[in-house]
A and B are shown apart, each in its own frame.
Chain A
Amino acid sequence: MKNAHLLLGLTDDEFDLIKEKLGRIPNDLELAMYSVMWSEHCSYKSSRIHLGRLPSESPLVLVGPGENAGVIDVGDNLAIALRIESHNHPSAIEPYQGAATGVGGIIRDIFTMGARPIALMDPLFTGPVENPHNAYLLDGIVKGISGYGNSVGVPTVGGSITFDSCYNQNPLVNVFCLGILPQDRLVLGRASGVDNLVVLLGSATGRDGIGGVSILASAGFGSDDIDETLDQSIATMTDENSSKRPSVQVGDPYEEKRLIEASLALLDAHLVVAIQDLGGAGLACATSELAARGRVAMDVYLSSIPLREADMTPAEIMTSESQERMLAIVKPEDFDDVKALCKKFEVKSTIIGHVVADNPDCPSQLRILSEQNGTVLANMPAATLADEAPKYDRPITPPQFLGQLNDFTSSSSPDRGQTSHIGSSAIDQTTAEIAKDMLQLLFDPSFIYEQYDYQLFTNTICAPGEADAAVLKLSAPDIAFTGKAIALSGDANPNYCAVDPRLGTALTVAESVLNVACTGAKPIGLVNCLNFGNPEHGEVMWQLSESIDGMAAACRQLDIPVVGGNVSLYNASEGKDILPTPVVAVVGLIENITQKPPLIGLEAGSTLILLGETESNLCGSAFSRLHEDDIPAGHSCKLPQLDFDTHKRLVAFIGNMIGNQIGNTGEKDSSLSAEDFGGEKNIISHIHDVSSGGLATAICEMAVKSNCGALITGIETEEELFSESPSRVLVVTKFPELVTALADKYGIANKILGTAGGTELIIQNIVSITLADIENRYFGYLPARLQITEGSSADFAS
């Protein structure tokens, strides 16, 4: 049998480092706590040295990366808290509970900051649903999000679904949550005050999710037998028989709903000094982080912790990932009030320890005692657990083609000399083949989002599927609407990132920013979830590092602070690393909203105008992916160029134009004035950005949503039709002269594409498709594939 530390996922070097930090050999309990805290999931040991390159500063940022959530000032003494996380590996094993507990965890991160969670978004990635296992996974994931999110009472207002065979067996479930708070309710997870109480709120602690962070989330998938590793690792800590235990936690949204209400009520009543949620690594994480951040010492009494099972070992208790728990620091004189308030919400509150005087010889000392004044079972400087995991500068192996990389950070004109390797063959397609391709790129995700409550809190102005970003009134049950709104967009482009992770990630950020602008919002912050393969593979580390650089460059150029992030590594399917999948969520602020923004759609008799210039380049496009059998090899072609100056100009122009239309923005921030609109208020009737699938998909989506055809005369080639070159928006207007004049005035390239109307989508000289064909494909695709598993996964009713 291997040594205990190896079974727990610690290397020999890491074990030596722990010995060095403690000046002795750690005991079993200490070793278990280090193993979870030093896991990839908790410590970011492979990525931390790279993450520092992301810009996180802005005058509006109140709390940047490193806390439970980022917090941004939105005026009126209000702030928003936002965070995104992955729950990929648990969802691969148990899709319903994996996704459900992902939702539960991200919600806790938000209300931990004192914010009322008001919105969830879930970018999902699975293998093609033609494969029944993938359909089963997706169905379970969606039901998990629906079952937990709806019941816990936080609307799911956005998300996405991407299919690619690289996610077979390893679906990605990213969960984003946004909350709103009065700025004076902002609270940080920092313990303070000697003799203050350490109070555990919520569920009893059970054996669920033990080792989740170290075993599930931080190791390769499919190579080793996970069950075996897990059982052996815990068995070394205990003498008991190693029965099969679920390493995936089980969620209880009703407990969490009461925990939200109780926690926010405690914060409103100023009854807690600090509060921290329990997520990955459970009590080991919450106690060590509270102590380390607050630079105080803490004693924890195991016998005081309410357990679901009587015979749990100390290691199991400290590393359990049982859901729906919070750890609060409370002044002794306030505890009776805390208990009374918790009782109202039927939430358990238990004193499990004390903040104690710091020992200069052992700063922020965390002691685990059998009981108060009992035996000391573990004794470690909290910072060594929370902050001092080794940081790895893992080898980066740039692929052979590095020399051909574009220098996209400088403004360069599109290189039209080098187009996609499939470009020439594409031109030979028949009309029927083009129509088939156009249809294949389409499907309606409403089958997924209609299982989510996206309307709760009566804030949802733009519901899922209506616009390029979700738009919500900035208000909450205890926070009045002041005329402001926020826009949210979650985006990813694994195809682009596979070809060129640096430019691909920059393009992803650019798209997300433009999506938000299309609803009239000004982008104010970004969080990211970096889903990659095995960091021990040099090329994966290269992808990660490149991606971070691309994100950093784009965020700097577009003035968007990165206020939080999450890294999920070891994502692989069938022995192959997933395509690099950095997900970004951008939040935008609408200063004043009095009417719904223009939606995705068409209006008969109106003119379609393309703002921005098309680069005829199919590299990395969804279209080219249709014609490739395998995952893009990387740099087999050159991605469309991103010119930051052009993009910024377009984002500002669109944001101002739509912002002026939907509310009273005043002159602040706006380069456009009322005169620019010639007295007309609603000059844009519909709007849609051009992204995956290019103009072909964008126009089809606009047509199908309004049941209106179009005659397009302004697209000349098939490459133009399917190109996904960035910085382009389609607008529909009854005032084409006004729009083109305005675009000209502000230096925005523009082209009239055609006219809306009829029951066919005709792209002159290229293709024509009937609306009926578009509808059949669009509305029929997902239901036909997901109904198969009807009733075969977990029941959605909690």
Chain B
Amino acid sequence: MTSSIKIVTFPGTNCEHDVLKQIQYLQGDAELIWHQETNLGSCSGVILPGGFAHGDYLRPGAIARFSPIMDEVIKFAESGGPVLGICNGFQVLTECGLLAGALSINNGLRFICKTLPCILETTQSVLTSAGQVGKELLLPVNHGEGNYICDDQTLDYLKENDLIVLTYAADINGSIDRIAGIRNKAGNVVGLMPHPERAVDPLLGYTDGQILLQSFINAAK
């Protein structure tokens, strides 16, 4: 059995098929894995896709971190395996401590769905290695709780270590320093609120997500 990217599906997750389709569109190997599984199998990378895992009850990601598969995901991440959290997946990664900070309710208290410019801030991550620092990417966002918050100490830590991966070109939800995505120090774990998988298929009008998912596919080889 060849190894593949595992796309974790919780009850309430809804972007798992979109991520699968677009990874396949980019010639990557991926398959879905149910949250009750206790073994990642032959795994080259993990993606936690968007949606509303466990209904976002309590708060987004708070229950998902206790799903059986998450112990395996944490072990995989700690061993250096590429892990990507998109939107709700980013929220899960902060809840389980793989990434710093937290995602809070958008300023303005409204859900936001639109495609807008983001800035790629570092290439030192499994999501951005094929990109270019300072490059503007048009990416769809789709969240009610994407307002990135952290304490001053954490923010300094993020900045000093080049851990901010992606920012919004303009403030959309109140995120500190317009943060849209961050990584861990090793660069193998990345979380972002925008949905790169929604900007892959040219028929839908946007393709800037290709470079991000392509980077991740390369890292998962």
Q: How far is the CA of A153 from the CA of B12 in the complex (A)?
A: 8
Q: Are B12 and A258 in contact (CB under 8 A)?
A: yes
Binds B, one of A86-94, A650-658, A790-798: A790-798
Distance to closest chain B CB from A251 (angstroms):
12
Distance to closest chain A CB from B221 (angstroms):
24
- Chain B: CB-nearest residue to A261: B11
Indicate which residue in A153, A460, A593, A796 contacts B144 across the interface (CB closer than 8 Å). Answer: A796
Q: Indicate whether A372 reaches chain B with its CB closer than 8 angstroms.
A: no
- Chain A: CB-nearest residue to B112: A450
B197-215 vs A, CB cutoff 8 Å, 1 = contact: the mask equals 1101101110000000000
Q: Indicate whether B54 reaches chain A with its CB closer than 8 angstroms.
A: yes
Q: How far is the CA of A449 from the CA of B112 in the complex (A)?
A: 9
Q: Knowing A146-B111, A455-B142, A473-B203 touch, does A151 contact B52 (C-beta < 8 A)?
A: yes
Q: Indicate whether A456 reaches chain B with its CB closer than 8 angstroms.
A: yes
User: Chain B residues with Cβ under 8 A from A344's Cβ?
Assistant: 34, 36
Binds A, one of B16-24, B75-83, B117-125, B159-167: B16-24
Q: Which of B34, B109, B114, B144 has the most chain A CB atoms inside 10 A of its CB? A: B144
Q: Are A594 and B109 in contact (CB under 8 A)?
A: no
Q: Indicate whether A346 reaches chain B with its CB closer than 8 angstroms.
A: yes
Q: Indicate whether B30 reaches chain A with its CB closer than 8 angstroms.
A: no
Q: Indicate whether B110 reaches chain A with its CB closer than 8 angstroms.
A: yes
Q: Are A454 and B113 in contact (CB under 8 A)?
A: yes
Q: Are B17 and A791 in contact (CB under 8 A)?
A: no
- Chain B: CB-nearest residue to A150: B111
Q: How far is the CA of A139 from the CA of B197 in the complex (A)?
A: 30
Q: Are A458 and B51 in contact (CB under 8 A)?
A: no
Q: Indicate whether A595 reaches chain B with its CB closer than 8 angstroms.
A: yes
Indicate which residue in A147, A451, A458 contacts B201 across the interface (CB closer than 8 Å). Answer: A458
Distance to closest chain B CB from A217 (angstroms):
28
Q: Indicate whether A457 reaches chain B with its CB closer than 8 angstroms.
A: yes
- Chain B: CB-nearest residue to A662: B203
Q: Are B14 and A153 in contact (CB under 8 A)?
A: yes
B96-130 vs A, CB cutoff 8 Å, 1 = contact: the mask equals 00000000010011111110000000000000000
Q: Indicate whether A15 reaches chain B with its CB closer than 8 angstroms.
A: no
Distance to closest chain A CB from B150 (angstroms):
20
Q: Are A455 and B203 in contact (CB under 8 A)?
A: no
Q: How far is the CA of A346 from the CA of B52 in the complex (A)?
A: 15
Q: Indicate whether A570 reaches chain B with its CB closer than 8 angstroms.
A: no
Q: Indicate whether B57 reaches chain A with its CB closer than 8 angstroms.
A: yes
Q: How far is the CA of A795 from the CA of B110 in the complex (A)?
A: 9
Q: Indicate whether B31 reaches chain A with its CB closer than 8 angstroms.
A: no
Q: Indicate whether A21 reaches chain B with its CB closer than 8 angstroms.
A: no
Q: Are B15 and A456 in contact (CB under 8 A)?
A: yes
Q: How far is the CA of A461 from the CA of B198 in the complex (A)?
A: 11
Q: How far is the CA of A18 from the CA of B18 in the complex (A)?
A: 52
Q: Indicate whether B174 reaches chain A with its CB closer than 8 angstroms.
A: no
Distance to closest chain A CB from B33 (angstroms):
13
Q: Are A257 and B14 in contact (CB under 8 A)?
A: yes
A250-263 vs B, CB cutoff 8 Å, 1 = contact: the mask equals 00111101100100
Q: How far is the CA of A425 from the CA of B145 in the complex (A)?
A: 52
Q: Knowing A451-B113, A455-B198, A796-B109 touch, does A461 contact B144 (C-beta < 8 A)?
A: no
User: Chain B residues with Cβ under 8 A from A146's Cβ?
Assistant: 110-111, 144
- Chain A: CB-nearest residue to B195: A455
Q: Indicate whether A596 reaches chain B with its CB closer than 8 angstroms.
A: yes
Q: Knowing A458-B204, A595-B203 touch, does A450 contact B105 (C-beta < 8 A)?
A: no
Q: Knowing A151-B55, A458-B198, A797-B56 touch, does A450 contact B113 (C-beta < 8 A)?
A: yes
Q: Are A798 and B11 in contact (CB under 8 A)?
A: no
Q: Indicate whether B140 reaches chain A with its CB closer than 8 angstroms.
A: yes
Q: Are A257 and B203 in contact (CB under 8 A)?
A: no
User: Chain B residues with Cβ under 8 A from A446's Cβ?
Assistant: 114
Q: Indicate whether A452 reaches chain B with its CB closer than 8 angstroms.
A: yes
User: Chain A residues with Cβ under 8 A from B142's Cβ?
Assistant: 150, 453, 455-456
User: Chain A residues with Cβ under 8 A from B145's Cβ?
Assistant: 797
User: Chain A residues with Cβ under 8 A from B140's Cβ?
Assistant: 455
Q: Are A596 and B205 in contact (CB under 8 A)?
A: yes
Q: How far is the CA of A255 from the CA of B195 in the complex (A)?
A: 25
Q: How far is the CA of A449 from the CA of B115 in the complex (A)?
A: 13
User: Chain A residues with Cβ under 8 A from B114's Cβ?
Assistant: 446, 450
Q: How far is the CA of A460 from the CA of B140 in the complex (A)?
A: 12
- Chain B: CB-nearest residue to A480: B21
Q: Indicate whether A477 reaches chain B with its CB closer than 8 angstroms.
A: yes
Interface size in chain A (residues, C-beta < 8 A): 42
User: Chain B residues with Cβ under 8 A from A254's Cβ?
Assistant: 11-12, 52, 54-57
Q: Knowing A345-B11, A458-B18, A797-B145 touch, does A451 contact B55 (C-beta < 8 A)?
A: no
User: Chain B residues with Cβ under 8 A from A451's Cβ?
Assistant: 110-113
User: Chain B residues with Cβ under 8 A from A143's Cβ?
Assistant: 110
Chain A contacts with B in 457-471, Cβ cutoff 8 A = 457-458, 460-461
Q: How far is the CA of A254 from the CA of B21 in the complex (A)?
A: 24
User: Chain A residues with Cβ under 8 A from B54's Cβ?
Assistant: 254
Distance to closest chain B CB from A613 (angstroms):
34
Chain A contacts with B in 118-166, Cβ cutoff 8 A = 143, 146-147, 150-151, 153
Q: How far is the CA of A449 from the CA of B142 in the complex (A)?
A: 12
Indicate which residue in A153, A461, A798 contacts B204 across the interface (CB closer than 8 Å). Answer: A461
Indicate which residue in B17, B56, B109, B113 contacts A790 across the interface (CB closer than 8 Å). Answer: B109
Distance to closest chain A CB from B152 (angstroms):
26
User: Chain A residues with Cβ under 8 A from B21's Cβ?
Assistant: 458
User: Chain A residues with Cβ under 8 A from B56's Cβ?
Assistant: 151, 254, 797-798
User: Chain B residues with Cβ under 8 A from A477's Cβ?
Assistant: 17
Q: Knowing A451-B113, A477-B17 touch, does A458 contact B22 (C-beta < 8 A)?
A: yes
- Chain B: CB-nearest residue to A252: B55
Q: How far is the CA of A478 from the CA of B145 in the complex (A)?
A: 29
Q: How far is the CA of A595 from the CA of B202 in the complex (A)?
A: 8
Q: How far is the CA of A275 from the CA of B195 in the complex (A)?
A: 35
Q: Are B11 and A257 in contact (CB under 8 A)?
A: yes
- Chain B: CB-nearest residue to A599: B205
Q: Are B113 and A257 in contact (CB under 8 A)?
A: no
User: Chain A residues with Cβ under 8 A from B113's Cβ?
Assistant: 150, 449-455
Chain A contacts with B in 767-798, Cβ cutoff 8 A = 790-791, 795-798
Q: Knowing A150-B144, A458-B197 touch, does A596 contact B52 (C-beta < 8 A)?
A: no
User: Chain A residues with Cβ under 8 A from B200's Cβ?
Assistant: 458
Q: Are B111 and A796 in contact (CB under 8 A)?
A: yes
Chain A contacts with B in 590-612, Cβ cutoff 8 A = 593-596
Q: Are A346 and B203 in contact (CB under 8 A)?
A: no
Distance to closest chain A CB from B65 (angstroms):
17
User: Chain B residues with Cβ under 8 A from A454's Cβ?
Assistant: 113
Q: Knowing A258-B12, A461-B203 touch, does A791 contact B55 (C-beta < 8 A)?
A: no
User: Chain A residues with Cβ under 8 A from B195's Cβ?
Assistant: 455
- Chain B: CB-nearest residue to A485: B203
Q: How far is the CA of A143 from the CA of B36 in the complex (A)?
A: 32
Distance to closest chain B CB from A152 (angstroms):
8
- Chain A: CB-nearest residue to B54: A254
Q: Are A797 and B144 in contact (CB under 8 A)?
A: yes
User: Chain A residues with Cβ under 8 A from B198's Cβ?
Assistant: 455, 458
Q: Knowing A150-B144, A345-B11 touch, does A798 contact B52 (C-beta < 8 A)?
A: yes
| A-B contacts, 10 listed (Cβ < 8 Å) | A253-B52, A258-B11, A346-B11, A446-B114, A455-B198, A461-B203, A478-B17, A790-B108, A791-B109, A796-B110
Q: Which 8 A-B pairs have CB atoms at the shortest separation, nearest pair first?
A: A254-B55, A153-B14, A477-B17, A151-B52, A458-B18, A451-B111, A146-B111, A455-B198
